[in-house]
């Protein structure tokens, strides 16, 4: 495929960008009274108002044309139909089959995957019910009260984020912990004070070979057996979620207690698969299914809606404007909902592991900027920390503001105050405050420049009535498809992650050098790494 920057449609976008340079959002809104209404789209219970972005109508029209020229619709169709679009791993990309609620088949290698998808969902539902109803018991006959998910990356971030996001729908009698870090502190603190007789471990790993998860899994086993003192207890207290039955059995978990998923589900896209088991235990299968309905509604929207009204496409293209025209290096995600506190962290893997690439599909070094740094914190906390830089700093930081009309905790004036801030921030960022306005407040002249807000800080506003399971599913799918859209335009492979390999290989080489009695060869590493390893060995009483 041609580089998008070589397309005449991109040239038009660029010309539009140059022409619009002097135009402020103040001016754009003053000139065009239907801008806000026309730049608002609805999908799957979500509203996106993208009118406070640094784009003109013409630029958007050119961007949609460019996306068509880049073959975005064909790429969408290829993903949904199970083509092997994950070329470097030779796999289809079918997380959308996990939430395919149409009743239609999805065929991979001439086999319909839907019966298997449904059967795993049914097994998950039966198991979740047994835990929630106290039917599944620990080895000593006690009901399960603690669920500890051991996994990392896509086998951790999704369920950890979702269990927090949907806590109002959760069975509060159950305690959920997520252990990911190989730092033993994570396991020790998560299980502190827990009774092993009432604890279920879910060992979640697509490959079932990931160092962190296997190490934490073995520690969990030892921790359990120190109290229960019988290998047979493992069957009551350990289940696995994986694509790798052989490794699960070798680890010592009966494959009857394994919930399967498939290599066509990428780790960072696996929340609606069996990786969502902790979430299903928390909120029950009915709510989990409602979440899948939300995912599906956004999937259909993405698949069939003309780009002009297509929410993920619009968000993806806007990101390209900032990334590739304005030189923005990062993108902030700012949920005005404490339940979504982990959403930015989840999106970091989704976006940065997918589009943090510098080689294009032709195997050539890209000539353009690809994925931005994703970051964020819930509002209003960020307002008292880093918003200063967004308002008055020298860097352009496009931001998504996510908010809900109704709170799950309608206490006093909290929610109206929260949302007043939500609306105030995007207004202030877009329209700022001129020197004349500052002066009119009686500000001493020497302070005027400090109190001016330039405005023109772009934001998306994403709103829904309430954070329900369905809305949550739609929100996650929205970002998945935004990331997909950008990967297609940038002509990179969004579904592999080779960049995580080198560090893993080197860590495996360094581990014995830290622990062996023999110091490593002095030329085993560069001078910096060798000296640091020596420092560590000496501090642990080993010869440097
Ligand atoms: O190291 C990165 C990664 O491969 C992620 O892509 C993945 O989500 C994570 O590790 C965990 O992998 P697994 O589920 O196989 O343990």
pLDDT reported for residue 396: 98
**Ligand 1 pocket, mutate which of 155, 273, 346 (most atoms under 8 A from CB):** 155
% the chain with pLDDT above 70: 100
Please give the average per-residue pLDDT across 414-422, as a whole number. 98
Q: Does residue 303 register a pLDDT over 90?
A: yes
Q: What is the CA radius of gyration of the chain?
A: 25
Please give the average per-residue pLDDT across 521-534, as a whole number. 93
> What residues contact residue 228 under an 8 Å CB cut-off, 6+ apart?
139, 140, 196, 197, 237
Please give the average per-residue pLDDT across 318-341, as a whole number. 98
Residue count (the chain): 544
> What residues contact residue 456 under an 8 Å CB cut-off, 6+ apart?
24, 25, 54, 430, 432
231 is annotated as an active-site residue: no
Please give the average per-residue pLDDT across 6-33, as a whole number. 95
Give the Å distances, CA to CA, from 156 to 25, 179, 188, 346. Answer: 40, 8, 17, 9
Which one, of 173, 172, 168, 175, lies nearest residue 468 by Cα? 168
Q: Does residue 302 register a pLDDT over 90?
A: yes
Which one, of 105, 85, 48, lies nearest residue 464 by Cα? 48
3-state secondary structure of 288: helix
384 is annotated as an active-site residue: yes
Other CB atoms within 10 A of residue 339 CB: 21
* Residue 2's pLDDT band (cuts 50, 70, 90): confident
Q: What is the largest CA-CA distance in the chain?
A: 78
pLDDT reported for residue 393: 98
Q: Is the CB of 487 under 6 A from ligand 1?
A: no
Position in ligand 1 atom list of the atom nearest CA 154: 8
**Ligand 1 pocket, mutate which of 497, 502, 507 (most atoms under 8 A from CB):** 497
Position in ligand 1 atom list of the atom nearest CA 497: 6
pLDDT reported for residue 22: 84
Position in ligand 1 atom list of the atom nearest CA 212: 16
pTM as predicted: 0.97
3-state secondary structure of 462: strand
Give the Å distances, CA to CA, from 433 to 35, 50, 333, 429, 538. Answer: 21, 21, 24, 9, 58
Q: Is the CB of 342 under 6 A from ligand 1?
A: no
Other CB atoms within 10 A of residue 217 CB: 26
Per-residue pLDDT tens over the stretch 194-240:
999 999 999 999 999 999 999 999 999 999 999 999 999 999 999 99
Q: Does residue 509 register a pLDDT over 80?
A: yes
pLDDT reported for residue 254: 92
Q: Is the CB of 241 under 6 A from ligand 1?
A: no
Per-residue pLDDT tens over the stretch 133-184:
999 999 999 999 999 999 999 999 999 999 999 999 999 999 999 999 999 9
Tell me the CA–centroid distance for residue 61 and ligand 1, in Å: 38
Q: Is the CB of 267 under 6 A from ligand 1?
A: yes
* Residue 1's pLDDT band (cuts 50, 70, 90): low
Tell me the CA–centroid distance for residue 180 and ligand 1, in Å: 11
Question: Per DSSP, what are the bridge partners of residue 453?
Answer: 433
Give the Å distances, CA to CA, from 504 to 243, 378, 499. Answer: 21, 32, 10
Position in ligand 1 atom list of the atom nearest CA 207: 15
The token pair at 233 is: 């207890």
Of 384, 441, 450, 517, the catalytic one is 384
pLDDT reported for residue 450: 98
364 is annotated as an active-site residue: no
% the chain with pLDDT above 90: 97
Cα–Cα distance measured from residue 9 to residue 61, given in angstroms and rounded to the nearest whole number: 9
Please give the average per-residue pLDDT across 107-120, as a whole number. 96
Please give the average per-residue pLDDT across 424-452, as a whole number. 98
User: What residue's CA is closest to ligand 1, atom 3?
Assistant: 153
pLDDT reported for residue 522: 84
Give the sign of the dihedral formed by CA 162, CA 164, CA 170, CA 174: positive
- 8-state DSSP, 98: H
Tell me the CA–centroid distance for residue 264 and ligand 1, in Å: 14
Q: Does residue 317 register a pLDDT over 90?
A: yes
**Ligand 1 pocket, mutate which of 86, 89, 153, 242 (most atoms under 8 A from CB):** 153
Which one, of 382, 376, 367, lies nearest residue 425 by Cα? 382
Tell me the CA–centroid distance for residue 480 and ligand 1, in Å: 17
């Amino acid at each position: 495929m041609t580089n998008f920057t070589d397309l005449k449609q991109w040239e038009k976008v660029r010309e539009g960008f140059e022409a619009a340079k002097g135009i402020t959002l103040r001016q754009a809104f003053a000139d065009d009274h239907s801008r806000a209404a026309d730049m608002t789209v609805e999908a799957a219970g979500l509203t996106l108002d993208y009118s406070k972005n640094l784009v003109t109508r013409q630029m958007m029209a050119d961007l949609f044309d460019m996306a068509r020229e880049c073959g975005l619709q064909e790429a969408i169709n290829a993903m949904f139909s199970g083509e092997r679009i994950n070329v470097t791993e030779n796999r289809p990309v079918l997380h959308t089959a996990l939430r395919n609620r149409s009743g239609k088949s999805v065929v991979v290698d001439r086999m319909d995957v839907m019966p298997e998808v449904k059967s795993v969902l049914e097994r998950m539902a039966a198991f979740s019910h047994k835990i929630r109803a106290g039917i599944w018991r620990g080895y000593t006959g006690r009901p399960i009260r603690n669920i500890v998910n051991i996994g990392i990356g896509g086998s951790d971030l999704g369920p950890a984020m979702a269990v927090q996001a949907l806590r109002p729908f959760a069975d509060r009698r159950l305690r959920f912990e997520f252990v990911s870090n190989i730092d033993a502190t994570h396991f020790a603190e998560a299980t502190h004070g827990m009774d092993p007789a009432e604890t279920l471990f879910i060992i979640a790993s697509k490959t079932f070979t990931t160092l962190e998860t296997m190490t934490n899994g073995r520690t969990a086993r030892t921790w359990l057996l120190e109290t229960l003192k019988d290998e047979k207890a493992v069957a009551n207290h350990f289940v696995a979620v994986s694509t790798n039955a052989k490794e699960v059995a070798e680890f010592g978990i009966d494959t009857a207690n394994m919930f399967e998923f498939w290599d066509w589900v990428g780790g960072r896209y696996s929340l609606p698969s069996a990786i969502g088991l902790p979430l299903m235990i928390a909120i029950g299968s009915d709510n989990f299914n409602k979440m899948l309905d939300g995912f599906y509604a956004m999937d259909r929207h993405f698949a069939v809606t003309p780009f002009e009204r297509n929410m993920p496409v619009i968000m993806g293209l806007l990101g390209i404007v900032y990334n590739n025209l304005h030189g923005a290096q990062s993108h902030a995600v700012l949920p005005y909902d404490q339940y979504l506190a982990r959403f930015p962290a989840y999106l970091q893997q989704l976006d940065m592991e997918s589009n943090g690439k510098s080689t294009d599909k032709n195997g050539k070094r890209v000539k353009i900027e690809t994925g931005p740094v994703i970051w964020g914190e819930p509002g209003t906390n960020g307002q008292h920390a880093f918003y200063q830089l967004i308002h008055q700093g020298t860097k352009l930081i496009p931001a998504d503001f996510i908010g809900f009309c109704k709170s799950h905790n309608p206490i006093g004036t909290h929610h109206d105050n929260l949302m007043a801030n939500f609306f105030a921030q995007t207004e202030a960022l877009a329209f700022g405050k001129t020197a004349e306005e500052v002066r009119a407040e009686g500000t001493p002249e020497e302070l005027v420049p400090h109190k001016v807000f330039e405005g023109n800080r772009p934001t998306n506003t994403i709103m829904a009535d309430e954070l329900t399971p369905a809305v949550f599913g739609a929100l996650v799918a929205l970002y998945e498809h935004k990331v997909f859209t950008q990967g297609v335009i940038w002509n990179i492979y969004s579904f592999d992650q080779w960049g995580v390999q080198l560090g893993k290989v080197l860590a495996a080489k360094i581990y014995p050098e830290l622990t062996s009695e023999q110091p490593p060869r002095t030329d085993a590493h560069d001078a910096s790494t060798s000296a640091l390893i020596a420092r560590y060995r000496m501090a642990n009483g080993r010869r440097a």
